[in-house]
Chain A
Amino acid sequence: MKIDQNKDLFDRIEEYFNGDMNDIEEKQFIKELKSNKELKDQYDKFILSFKVLNNLGNPSEQAINELLAMKELHDCNKVQKNKSGFKIRFFKAKSFPIRGIAAAITILIISSAIYLLYDRQQFDTASVLQLHFDSYQDFEEITPISSEDFSSENETLFLNGYEAQKNRNFKIAIPVLKSLIERPYKENWSKLLLGISYIGTGDFDQAIKSLSELKEHERKLSREMTIVSAYYLALAYIGNGDFEEGMEQLSVILKRLENLPKENYLFKWKLKSDKLIKDISDFSENKY
């Protein structure tokens, strides 16, 4: 049997281990292994590479998810770093004027179509929601800064989830936060962040589920956690079209913060809730 001389040793070994050789080729390969020292050396090293992977054990679904989340985060950061480079290349291109005009016209047509086709009621609700959700960075001020060991694996994962969420990479944040809840690690914070992430992706049902679970353990929560979770639960209800329930959550916040002095760090949540109630009321009046 002829052996393809163009293939290097690695290719042949790879074919062998992948099961891509037919029986005759395999027999020939093993025969050659016994006489070709170089091939045998490479074959042994290939076996050692399996030993390296064997060290990792059996991947659980959770471990794979964590690795995938890290990959997405990594890819995302890479894209952000490359963004400026892309702009330079784009503007340097000779065809920029044509491309630019074509892109602008396309965007204009698509935007008009969306505007015309989009259900008016949903659009308004989304605007109100978006306006209030955009201010969620205020949440940073009561960020769960950890007193625990920053180098611990759980804490690293938590910070990854938090960072992803802060950067609005909600789809990346969600699996990380879910895995933290499963562990469980900083369960309440993770549920709160998970709820917010779901709002960010527009999955209000899941957001309500996650935030309602928090509400069930309200007695164990700190005051700020109770307020913040109620606020986002209200947003989730509003996003889902359940204004009544949303308003009820907001009124609970206002009641709890009724006599709060302006200097208190939670006062802004009172203002935010007030503003949201006002916007929702305005929207309802216009609608009906």
Chain B
Amino acid sequence: MDDNQIGKKFRSGGNEEISIAIDFILSNWRENIIYDIVNVLKSSVYAEDIFNLGLEILQENIVEMKWNGGSLKGYLRRICINKSFDLLRYGPEILNRTKKKLKEPQERVQVSTTALKKLVTFLGLNCTLVLWLYWKGYSYKKIGITTGYNLDTVKSKKYKCQRKLLKLINDNQEFKTFFLENTEETKDANQS
């Protein structure tokens, strides 16, 4: 089953169709994505819950046309990794979506301005924009439309910027301290 067929099944709204799509994802993608989640959480306790949450969000995003046509597996993987980091930051409360919808913490829907500014100073404006949009599930095509780059430029930029980011993680102590260590400054950035 290819990505478009899965998308169609979710959008059809029929229980049987949706079950087929979910079964396909569970039997083909689940194991590897759970592996990624465990790598982020360093534990398997919530891995299954995160995967189910990711699947729920994926389904919603497809129905609400928020999925822009990139690889669905990669998209689900990014959602799950993102939610894993959210779990580490905000606790298991994020797993309860009904509750979450009722009292969505403001800081989670707002951009962390301090972190954004900091990332721009390290990575540059274009790289930050491309990586951020990609991370949030924009397809290459949509990033191109948003930023004014052509498709090939978006792809090569994303590739180069990801490398640049990894280099910063490898070599730059200031960068690591700000983004990866749990310092007061990072906490402030996350809360702002």
- Name A residues whose Cβ lies closer than 8 Å to a Cβ of B: 10, 14, 17-20, 23, 26-27, 30, 42-60, 63-64, 67-68, 70-71, 74, 153
Contacts and interface: CB of A to CB of B under 8 A. Distances in A.
**Contact residues of B: prevailing secondary structure:** helix
Contacts, number: 118
9 contacts: A18-B71, A46-B166, A51-B40, A51-B85, A55-B190, A63-B111, A67-B125, A67-B129, A74-B125
B132 A59 contact: yes
Given A18-B71, A47-B40, A55 B115 contact: yes
B141 to A, nearest CB: 14
Nearest to A58: B109
Contacts of A56: 111-112, 115-116, 119, 132, 135
B81 A47 contact: yes
A43 B38 CA distance: 13
Interface of B: 28, 32, 35-36, 39-40, 70-78, 81-82, 85-86, 89, 107-113, 115-116, 119, 125-126, 128-129, 131-133, 135-136, 146-147, 159, 162-163, 165-166, 169-170, 179-180, 186, 189-190
B129 A68 contact: yes
B147 A68 contact: yes
A68 B146 contact: yes
Contacts of A20: 71, 74
B135 A45 contact: no
B75 to A, nearest CB: 7
B72 A60 contact: no
Nearest to A46: B166
Contacts of B73: 19
B124 to A, nearest CB: 9
A54 B132 CA distance: 9
A212 B160 CA distance: 47
A48 B172 CA distance: 13
A49 B169 contact: yes
B27 to A, nearest CB: 10
B71 A47 contact: no
A50 B82 contact: yes
A65 to B, nearest CB: 10
A178 to B, nearest CB: 17
Contact of A54 (B86, B109, B128, B147): B86
A288 B146 CA distance: 47
Nearest to B3: A19
Contacts of B109: 57-58, 60
Contact of B180 (A10, A42, A43, A52): A52
Contacts of A10: 162-163, 166
Contacts of B190: 55
Contacts of A52: 119, 165, 169, 179-180
List 8 tightest A-B contacts by C-beta distance, closest first.
Answer: A19-B74, A19-B71, A19-B73, A54-B85, A53-B135, A63-B111, A55-B115, A18-B74
Interface centre among B36, B76, B108, B170 (most CB of A within 10 A): B36
Contacts of A17: 74, 77-78
A67 B36 CA distance: 31
A157 to B, nearest CB: 11
A53 B82 CA distance: 9
Given A18-B74, A19-B75, A68-B146, A50 B135 contact: yes
Nearest to A18: B74
